[in-house]
Chain A
Amino acid sequence: MRSQISCRELYLMFSNLFKSMGCCKVSSLMQAQVEMGLGNEVELKSLLEQETDSRQTNAASLMEQGLHRERRAKVPRNNVVQSFKIVILSNKLNLLLPFGPLAILVHYLTDSKGWFFLLSLVGITPLAERLGYATEQLACYTGSTVGGLLNATFGNVIELIISIIALKNGMVRVVQLTLLGSILSNMLLVLGCAFFFGGLVFSRKDQVFDKGNAVVSSGMLLMAVMGLLFPTVLHYTQSEVHAGSSVLALSRFISCIMLVAYAAYLFFQLKSQPSVYTEERNHNTEMSEDDEDPEISKWEAIIWLSIFTAWVSILSGYLVDAIEGASVSWKIPVSFISVILLPIVGNAAEHAGAVMFAMKDKLDLSLGVAIGSSIQISMFLVPFCVVIGWMMGVQMDLNFQLYETATLFITVIVVAFFLHEGTSNYFKGLMLILCYLIVAASFFVHEGPRQG
């Protein structure tokens, strides 16, 4: 009994830590397990896997049949075949994996950019999910702090990779639009779906979530909007001191400030969890046990992480190349593809996760996934891309053009109002989804000024 209780409390500690990281999947997994009040270790681990796979509903049934092996060894020593089996084959979403190589074949054989784009999108989806999985596995080994940082940084690694590749090609506008679209999709679509489905399941009462966290998150989002707004307005009122370079210099400075703010936010979240830790000091031994009892060993996790990252980079390279071609062949604006289509794919796994948590009445986790992801992109990815561009010599700035900035501003205000009350129901979710439809429609008929 003692070991079971300690496992639970241990997971509680981890989960509270990671929950504060906002968008970490590890925390949500662990918290989900704690709250389900589990009994024994095998159940724990199978539920761990169940959380990962439950985003793909087909896989869930496989898991419940207990295909998962008994696990007593501290560090699982898998040979290559076993590792391959665990990582690749035990997840039905991975059926989409062959679309990746297929897309590359299509790229070289036919000249149809549209099909190639579509196939690459489909091929990236399972990779996004597996990358998240590998990151969680690695985080089990590295201890709480570094693990949390790892999740905070790599939570949106797909968008990061796509953005860096686009930056290298000098496609600054695509980077801006993709990141903006990811923020909008997380704030409106993912959150809206979570509220809506959660509200439908629990239609008699309003679901509640932690108001304090929601308000701090809204504040962070507003700060990000402020950071994006000033360079844009400076440019549009044509009131800069040195036309052209002022906006860039301001953007770079603001990006550094935003990165500092994000680091402080992480630090603050970590620091504000000390009370839980003091109870766990006598459970150190169990803690180290669970640290090292995930499915694959540490080196396997690192290797798989590198493999997936390389694979995603290759596909992203082709994807970014194909955007303009797809836009021409499908006759839809590049803005629409970058802002609406790409982020929906990139966020598919988080989307399903958030909806699932809401339907289990764990709205704080859904909020953590959705809003935490938005904060991560707006306060970390966007400034990070500006800094990377600075180092590469690419002129990426925070001037997202007036239309996109206005969209972001009104969206953040709408979401902040919906969040500050601390309750949700299906109607609020429906409103958020409808707002996203309006935003998507407006990008469908919008094209930016033609400077690439």
Chain B
Amino acid sequence: MSCCKVPVLIEAQVEMGSVNELEHKSLFRQEEDAAQTKEASLMEQGSLSTSFPQHTPKSPKNSVLNSIKIVIFCNKLNLLLPFGPLAILVHYMIDSKGWVFLLTLVGITPLAERLGYATEQLACYTGPTVGGLLNATFGNVTELIISIFALKNGMIRVVQLTLLGSILSNMLLVLGCAFFCGGLVFYQKDQVFDKGTATVNSGLLLMAVMGILFPAVLHYTHSEVHAGSSELALSRFSSCIMLIAYAAYLFFQLKSQSNSYSPLDEETNQNEETSAEDEDPEISKWEAIIWLSILTAWVSLLSGYLVDAIEGASVSWNIPISFISTILLPIVGNAAEHAGAIMFAMKDKLDLSLGVAIGSSIQISMFAVPFCVVIGWMMGQQMDLNFQLFETAMLFITVIVVAFFLQEGTSNYFKGLMLILCYLIVAASFFVHEDPPQDGI
């Protein structure tokens, strides 16, 4: 489960070889919260472990107040939470779409992180298999929600660009920063990662590119049988194939994970601790579900305003919609994963960073994109996989570059810097790119 946070966390704990339960739990939280660097220092002072009730019972029963305290207050990123309601106020009071857009962006960021947290908590209860699946499906739920809203409004182009931007940002920016920062910390040697997984992931990304390439090329060589409906039919068929492939990928990962977990257990002999970890998260199962629903509803609400404000922001700031959708939105949506990947790399756990970055790219390209096509099919929206020639070419060349960087199995700060610079080139080209007039949103 390269893109799941649960095995990431469990693996991180096992690898850190922690000894007692309390350390386990504080480290558990440290992994999540360290995504916000301010928080890391607090952790090391151990001040938060005191706010933690004793955890001998399997499922913590928190009162509503306790629950709110744990989920909302003990994370300093949540200071940004009020920006959400503020954005809605601004939306109704002032007519400045630019400000609404900015405030909504800022307001969504902590929600994205809390959603990830709630998903992980829930995954603790459901066992590794379902937990992994949960993370695999909901890892990018923010992008998914934004996309579904845009689809409902018929803003197909925005959906395509947002998802594309998310793939590009994960592959180049997140991965590049991880390699770069990790390489700076460990500059005497090259960091290594598992070549086999990286190769399979590159192959999957190439398959996704293939699925996106054919409808685009079909359209541009004007060689379809029934102009207009052929690409749509092909896109829908390819989407189903890609969803099947993603399901097979998850199945395959689960099967090979179950083979690799048993030696770990024997070596570290921490079966009790790991099972205790499974059922000793911070909030109870129902709390997790409730918080998940609350956060999802809140994100949906804000996304609605966000999607409405995109065009207005583009006009008032004088930058193309492609840039906003492809570069700005995904940076915000991926902020938490970004920080997580960098932190793992700086701890020399490059496999986890790769899992977060490339796994997220695969999840979006092989799951979110085809899923949106299918949802569009059900809604009656004509969403297809024809991402237009420029974007498709961009994706193709990016995947090839990243696949080449990954195939060696080592990394250093230079490779990271190259990837970041490639992302700057991509961002710049989207800054001066707008769709030809006949393909309106």
A residues contacting B by CB (< 8 A) are 204, 333, 401-403, 406-407, 410-411, 413-414, 417-418, 420-421, 423, 425-428, 430-431, 434-435, 437-439, 441-442, 444-449
B17 smallest CB distance to A (angstroms): 29
Q: Contact check, A406 vs B213: say whether CB atoms are below 8 A apart.
A: yes
Which of the residues A401, A413, A441 comes within 8 Å of B237, measured between beta carbons? A441
In Å, the complex CA distance between A414 and B195 comes to 17
B residues contacting A by CB (< 8 A) are 195-196, 199-200, 202-204, 206-207, 209-211, 213-215, 217-218, 221, 223-226, 230-231, 233-234, 237-238, 241-242, 244-245, 248-249, 252, 259, 396, 400, 403, 407
Q: Contact check, A414 vs B223: say whether CB atoms are below 8 A apart.
A: no
Q: Contact check, B210 vs A445: say whether CB atoms are below 8 A apart.
A: no
Q: Contact check, B213 vs A446: say whether CB atoms are below 8 A apart.
A: no
B225 CB contacts on chain A under 8 angstroms: 333, 445-447
Q: Contact check, B200 vs A446: say whether CB atoms are below 8 A apart.
A: no
B230 CB contacts on chain A under 8 angstroms: 445-446
In Å, the complex CA distance between A109 and B259 comes to 63
| Contact sample, A vs B, 19 pairs, CB 8 Å cutoff | A402-B217, A406-B213, A406-B217, A410-B209, A410-B213, A414-B207, A414-B210, A421-B195, A431-B204, A438-B210, A441-B237, A441-B238, A441-B241, A442-B214, A442-B218, A442-B234, A445-B233, A446-B223, A448-B223
A448 CB contacts on chain B under 8 angstroms: 223
In Å, the complex CA distance between A423 and B237 comes to 29
Given contacts A428-B203, A431-B204, A435-B207, contact A401 B218 (CB under 8 A): no
Among residues of B, the one whose C-beta sits closest to the C-beta of A411 is B210
5 A-B pairs besides A402-B221, A441-B241 with CB distance below 8 A are: A438-B210, A438-B238, A441-B238, A447-B224, A449-B223
Q: Contact check, B210 vs A410: say whether CB atoms are below 8 A apart.
A: yes
Among residues of A, the one whose C-beta sits closest to the C-beta of B403 is A417
A401 CB contacts on chain B under 8 angstroms: 221, 223
B19 smallest CB distance to A (angstroms): 34
Given contacts A402-B217, A417-B203, A417-B403, contact A445 B224 (CB under 8 A): yes
B209 CB contacts on chain A under 8 angstroms: 410
B210 CB contacts on chain A under 8 angstroms: 410-411, 414, 435, 438
Q: Contact check, A431 vs B203: say whether CB atoms are below 8 A apart.
A: yes
List the 8 closest A-B pairs by CB distance, nearest first.
A445-B230, A442-B214, A427-B252, A403-B221, A421-B199, A441-B237, A414-B206, A402-B221
A421 CB contacts on chain B under 8 angstroms: 195-196, 199
B231 CB contacts on chain A under 8 angstroms: 445
Among residues of A, the one whose C-beta sits closest to the C-beta of B230 is A445
A358 smallest CB distance to B (angstroms): 18
B423 smallest CB distance to A (angstroms): 22
Q: Contact check, B234 vs A445: say whether CB atoms are below 8 A apart.
A: yes
Tell which of A204, A413, A423 has the most Cβ of chain B within 10 Å: A413
Tell which of B206, B231, B249, B252 has the most Cβ of chain A within 10 Å: B206
B223 CB contacts on chain A under 8 angstroms: 401, 403, 446-449
Which of the residues A407, A434, A441, A444 comes within 8 Å of B207, measured between beta carbons? A434
In Å, the complex CA distance between A445 and B199 comes to 31
A441 CB contacts on chain B under 8 angstroms: 234, 237-238, 241
Which of the residues B237, B245, B407 comes within 8 Å of A431, measured between beta carbons? B245
In Å, the complex CA distance between A414 and B200 comes to 11
B409 smallest CB distance to A (angstroms): 10
In Å, the complex CA distance between A426 and B248 comes to 10
Which of the residues A403, A410, A425, A434 comes within 8 Å of B218, measured between beta carbons? A403
In Å, the complex CA distance between A438 and B366 comes to 14
In Å, the complex CA distance between A217 and B241 comes to 28
Q: Contact check, B248 vs A446: say whether CB atoms are below 8 A apart.
A: no
In Å, the complex CA distance between A441 and B200 comes to 24
In Å, the complex CA distance between A413 and B195 comes to 18
In Å, the complex CA distance between A434 and B200 comes to 15
Q: Contact check, B214 vs A407: say whether CB atoms are below 8 A apart.
A: yes
In Å, the complex CA distance between A345 and B385 comes to 31
In Å, the complex CA distance between A441 and B242 comes to 13
In Å, the complex CA distance between A319 and B196 comes to 46
Given contacts A403-B218, A410-B213, contact A430 B245 (CB under 8 A): yes
Which of the residues B233, B241, B396 comes within 8 Å of A437, measured between beta carbons? B241
Q: Contact check, B207 vs A431: say whether CB atoms are below 8 A apart.
A: yes
Q: Contact check, B218 vs A417: say whether CB atoms are below 8 A apart.
A: no
A446 smallest CB distance to B (angstroms): 5
In Å, the complex CA distance between A333 and B224 comes to 10
B233 CB contacts on chain A under 8 angstroms: 445
